Structure 1
Amino acid sequence: MPDAPPTPPATPYDWLGGEAKVRELVDRFYDLMDIEPAYAALRAAHGSTLADARDKLFWFLCGWLGGPDHYQSRFGHPRLRMRHLPFSIGIRERDEWVACMDQAMGETGVHADLRARLRESFMNTADWMRNRGG
């Protein structure tokens, strides 16, 4: 009898590879945002430095993916939409954010099944964060 396919880890955090892999993903995401012309509008929305954004996204993603709640322990509930209201987020910014994260997932070796699941979740969340039309 053939072996059953392996069961993915319990959480996306574990499947990704834990804290070190989340940090690698976030760092690649912001590196790409900083150097790729395709993400210029997204980069422009982040001000002169990305250090604070890197840490906040890392802390948030650890908990969102099922790992430690670093973000909540520092700032309380994420209230993503409220915290992003000061920023103009339209379709272009949404699409650039998701494309940049998808590229980072590809370049950091995120498993294809997990990458597809996360891409869909990121798109749903990014679309919900839009606060203007185009």
Structure 2
Amino acid sequence: MAALRGRLWEFGRVLRARGVQTPPPGPPPIPRRGGVHRGVPLCGAAAAPRLRPVPPPAPLLPHAVGLDPPTRVANGNRRITELRRIRGDIWALEKELREFVGQRVGKQPLTQVNELSGTLRLKGHVDNEVRAWLLLKGF
């Protein structure tokens, strides 16, 4: 134990003799990594080439304008029709859509409203009825 204490004392003495190193005067050097040289990003012929070309823009499909509500299958054969990106009074939309679909199908569908994400889900395969309602309202 005494030998260990002596070695620790010796190690501490060496550290105190070296002292704390001070950084050199002046501003710190700018790191030179790929694409950045003296703080200015490279562009044009000096820039690294792209690994793959930029894909063309997606074509405008009917569901992009809201005429084709997506239907997802959940847990086997349970179908859920979902309207997304709803702005405005989502509760009035839900009430009116539930009444319209209920008259066409014969029973009131179960609905789920999410105000934060602006989505309305209807239980069942009722996308034809929702599409008819959207066309009737002029969407």
TM-score, normalising length from structure 2? 0.26
Structure with higher helix content:
1
Structure showing greater Rg:
2
Question: What TM-score comes out, normalization by structure 1 length?
Answer: 0.27
